[in-house]
Amino acid sequence: MEGTRIIATYRLRTGEHDAARRAQALALEQSVELPLEAVTDARVRAEVVGQVLDLQLQPDGSTLARVALAAETVGQDAGQLMNMLFGNSSLLPDVELLDVDVPPALAQHFGGPRHGIDGLRRLTGVHGRPLTCTALKPIGSTAAQMAALAGTFARAGLDIIKDDHGWADQASAPFAARLAACAAAVAEANAARSDGGRTIYAPSLSGPEGRMREQLALAAENGVQMVLIAPMVCGMATFHALVRDHPGVAFLAHPALAGAQMAPPALLGNLFRLCGADAVIFPNHGGRFSYSPATCHALAAALRAPWQGLRAALPTPAGGMSVERVPELVADYGTDCMLLIGGALLIARERVAERMREFVTAVAAAAAETA
């Protein structure tokens, strides 16, 4: 069975007495959506119906249920993978998708990161320290304002400058104009650098697949090699199709609309990595959001640990981080990560260039200390 089954682990917040029944119902819900007695075909009963592998009662009273789902129900489609893992069960507030593993053939089909940590290091020329990243804010600005900011950030030596994830194709700074202006500003700063470093600009994709393909074509015309994308906004099928068809582009995944019902290590970790995220942004503990330290560490592990021969993806803790926390962040995540600080640097206003340089220096210093 191992070769043909997806193993999904769910947390059921239900009484111990009810856990076995609920797990069995879940296995049916996420496969044939029928009572077992209504499944008349012997092959379907044996090979397609979801199977409960085991139940583990937890100290908090919840139960972990491991369920084996038939890989054939997913076919080749990443959207269908999400549908079979959590489509109907997402409607149940007491069910959480906690972990996912896929058979080798499915791992190879989806293919994981095309660049991964090693590829991002080659792209940026950064070795032995975390990458630095910041965001172009706020939405509502003009393309010229964002390009000026991008130039400032690039001259300060940031490795990656991404669009804020709220950027789409708004009238104040339409995608094409913003892309051209920001890419030019970053290229100009790169040309003037003498330290061998190089900044990458990552514009934010939006709209349905067709529109995103147009945006990727525009990005290529402007020499842009990385994009920001929110897989749960555009749909996992779109995300994977774009990754598959643009092997030269690095994909920085944003957690927007990921919700709180799929455990971050499973969704932002395993599933985003499986479908091709080279780096994954997540709200670090102690920031504006509420992921716990344990969740953050499990997520970083899911992105970097050996898994099915897929490349490792770069953990990118974010969400209200500050320069003051850089030593702690580097101690926490090591050097194979990317640190993303946005608002805390922009708040400095006219001192923003100086603060950006402090960020870059702090990361180098913290990495040297751990070396």
Decide: helix, strand or coil at residue 259: coil
Binding mask 74-113 for a copy of itself (x = CB under 8 A): xxxx-xx-xxx-xxx-xxxxx-------------------
Q: Which residues between 5 and 64 bind a copy of itself (CB under 8 A)?
A: 25, 29, 31-35, 37-41, 43-44, 47-49
CA proximity to 167, closest of 249, 228, 232? 228
Decide: helix, strand or coil at residue 1: coil
Query: In terms of CB distance, is 266 or 364 closer to a copy of itself?
Result: 266
Question: What Cα–Cα distance (Å) separates residue 182 from each residue in 31, 266, 278, 339, 353?
Answer: 47, 34, 22, 21, 16
Stretch that binds a copy of itself, among 60-68, 119-127, 177-185, 338-346 (CB under 8 A): 338-346
- 8 Å CB contact between 252 and 162: yes
Cα separation of 271 and 91, whole Å? Answer: 19
Question: What Cα–Cα distance (Å) separates residue 183 from each residue in 33, 144, 176, 297?
Answer: 49, 11, 11, 34
Cα separation of 276 and 40, whole Å? Answer: 38
Query: In terms of CB distance, is 91 or 294 closer to a copy of itself?
Result: 91
Q: Which residues between 170 and 189 bind a copy of itself (CB under 8 A)?
A: 170-172
Closest separation in Å from C-beta 242 to a copy of itself: 8
Q: Which residues between 255 and 314 bind a copy of itself (CB under 8 A)?
A: 255-261, 283, 288-291
Closest separation in Å from C-beta 370 to a copy of itself: 29
Q: What is the CA radius of gyration of the chain?
A: 22
Stretch that binds a copy of itself, among 176-184, 193-201, 254-262, 324-332 (CB under 8 A): 254-262
Query: In terms of CB distance, is 198 or 240 closer to a copy of itself?
Result: 240
**Chain centroid, CA 117 distance in Å:** 13
Closest separation in Å from C-beta 176 to a copy of itself: 13
Closest separation in Å from C-beta 66 to a copy of itself: 20
Secondary structure element (H or E) that encloses residue 343, with its range:
helix 343-346
Q: Which residues between 191 and 250 bind a copy of itself (CB under 8 A)?
A: 206-211, 230, 233-238, 240-241
